[in-house]
Amino acid sequence: MKTALVCGAAGFIGSHLVDFLLQKNYHVIGLDNFVTGRKENLSHLAENKNFRLIEWDITNAPNISEKIDEIYNLASPASPVDFTKRPVFILQTAAQGQTHMLELAKNTNARILFASTSEVYGDPLQHPQVESYWGNVNPIGIRGCYDEAKRFGEAITMAYHRLHKVNTCIARIFNTYGSRMRPEDGRVIPNFFSQAVSKQSLSIYGDGKQTRSLCFVSDLVAGLYALMQSTSHEPTNLGNPREMTILELADTINKITGNTAPHKFLPLPPDDPKQRCPSIDRAKTTLGWEPKVGLEEGLKHTLEYFNQ
Ligand SMILES: NC(=O)c1ccc[n+]([C@@H]2O[C@H](COP(=O)([O-])OP(=O)(O)OC[C@H]3O[C@@H](n4cnc5c(N)ncnc54)[C@H](O)[C@@H]3O)[C@@H](O)[C@H]2O)c1
């Protein structure tokens, strides 16, 4: 039986990853400080003997003595709300947190996955974004704390790989959605669903013509696992390449929720990316991975959660 350590286990993606690994017969240790995660995301596992949740802030070195085979470091606040609320903590979590996890990987010979983000491409000038693109990031802008935190996380991961031969991999995650997202999270899907189920106008920032591509969480988790099982050390984009405008997304959510309130247009926040779409050629070739869940299908699953 393999042991996996999941940092950020009580978060949206982390909790789905824990479920996935337990189904694959892993022994799973979850670490979380609950800054944005919630214990109830894992409450269904309270009796599961193969799972242990430890309250821990990864800016402190973890105290783990058992043999670890795989470390998934997903711990980081990730929503735009947090960029203004806790910018220093975001930077510290990537810098100190990822360093602690790399040390643990070095000492235990574990393979480690760093959850990076499409935000490393900033407001991209190249489209779709391929991994070889270095990005267009404003380091001192409002999103700089997150973008640069993740860029540092990638840099230190590669440094440990090159210097200490740590078995690392980097997932550049694009917008992901599904159940267990916090309604007040500030990201587009929870925003739209919270408004749509209470029959309010959906808030569109700017003219709504900016694009996003959205990956359903089960697809993303399968991609993280495939990357961990691979021998790749290069950053790998994981996301759904189906691109849509924010307006198109808003109309689809209104359609499936039966919401008829007209959209509400608000000023675009600074540094909001105009286009986001992954090239997933690398993931297809090296992992044999691509998303399977269509937009309407994924949104309908997500609606069940926001309707609860
Ligand atoms: N959801 C997306 O669309 C998306 C896109 C790109 C990248 N990511 C990355 O994926 C990861 C998970 O994102 P998510 O959407 O599930 O966010 P989330 O906020 O739901 O989950 C993050 C989890 O990490 C925990 N955490 C944060 N800082 C910590 C620390 N210092 N010590 C211990 N635990 C800590 C939080 O409490 C939370 O449970 C993040 O690293 C994020 O940057 C997510």
98-111: pLDDT as tens digits: 999 999 999 999 99
Q: Is the CB of 240 under 6 A from ligand 1?
A: no
Look at phi and psi of residue 260 and say left if phi exceeds 0, alpha if psi is from -120 to 50, else beta. Answer: alpha
Residue 158 lies in a domain: yes
65-84: pLDDT as tens digits:
899 999 999 999 999 999 99
Q: Which alpha helices (H) appear in the chain, and where do they start and end?
A: 12-23, 80-85, 87-92, 98-108, 144-164, 188-197, 217-229, 246-257, 281-282, 295-306
Query: Residue 193: is its pLDDT beyond 80?
Result: yes
> In the predicted model, what is the mean pLDDT of residues 216-222?
98
| Residue among 17, 33, 28, 22 nearest 75 (CA) | 33
Mean pLDDT of the chain: 96
107-138: pLDDT as tens digits:
999 999 999 999 999 989 999 999 999 999 99
Question: At 186, is the pLDDT very low, low, confident or very high (cuts 50, 70, 90)?
Answer: confident
Residue 62 lies in a domain: yes
Q: Which alpha helices (H) appear in 5-97, and where do they start and end?
A: 12-23, 80-85, 87-92
| Residue among 238, 234, 219, 225 nearest 283 (CA) | 238
Nearest protein CA to atom 25 of ligand 1, as residue: 8
Pocket test for ligand 1, best of 35, 98, 220 (most atoms within 8 A of CB): 35
Among the listed residues 72, 121, 146, 160, the single catalytic one is 146
Q: Is the CB of 99 under 6 A from ligand 1?
A: no
Instruction: State how far the Cα of 187 lies from the Cα of 180, in Å rounded to an integer.
Output: 13
Question: At 46, is the pLDDT very low, low, confident or very high (cuts 50, 70, 90)?
Answer: very high
> In the predicted model, what is the mean pLDDT of residues 181-204?
93
Query: Residue 271: is its pLDDT beyond 80?
Result: no
Residue 229 lies in a domain: yes
Where in the sequence is the domain holding 72, given as residue range(s)? 3-177+215-240+280-292
Q: Is the CB of 35 under 6 A from ligand 1?
A: yes
Instruction: State how far the Cα of 228 lies from the Cα of 111, in Å rounded to an integer.
Output: 7
Ligand 1: centre distance to CA 74 (Å) = 5
As for how many domains the chain has, the answer is: 1
pLDDT given for residue 7 in this prediction: 98
Residue 118 lies in a domain: yes
Strand 111-117: give its sheet, edge to edge: 51-55, 27-32, 3-7, 70-73, 111-117, 168-173, 235-238
Pocket test for ligand 1, best of 6, 15, 31, 36 (most atoms within 8 A of CB): 36
Residue 114 lies in a domain: yes
Report yes or no: 227 and 236 within 8 Å, Cβ to Cβ.
yes
172-181: pLDDT as tens digits:
999 999 999 9
Query: Residue 270: is its pLDDT beyond 90?
Result: no
pLDDT given for residue 183 in this prediction: 87
Q: Is the CB of 37 under 6 A from ligand 1?
A: yes
Report yes or no: 3 and 64 within 8 Å, Cβ to Cβ.
no
CATH number at residue 163: 3.40.50.720
Cα–Cα distances (Å) from 227 to 5, 15, 94, 280, 284, in that order, read 15, 18, 20, 13, 11
Query: Residue 242: is its pLDDT beyond 90?
Result: yes
Residue 32 lies in a domain: yes
Ligand 1: centre distance to CA 232 (Å) = 23
Catalytic annotation present for 72: no
Question: At 197, is the pLDDT very low, low, confident or very high (cuts 50, 70, 90)?
Answer: very high
Atom of ligand 1 nearest to the CA of 182: 20
pLDDT given for residue 274 in this prediction: 82
Instruction: State how far the Cα of 141 lies from the Cα of 145, in Å rounded to an integer.
Output: 8
Q: Is the CB of 190 under 6 A from ligand 1?
A: no
Q: Is the CB of 290 under 6 A from ligand 1?
A: no
Query: Tokens for 80?
Result: 């735009």
Residue 286 lies in a domain: yes
Q: What type of residue sits at position 175? A: N
Query: Residue 273: is its pLDDT beyond 80?
Result: no
Ligand 1: centre distance to CA 259 (Å) = 30
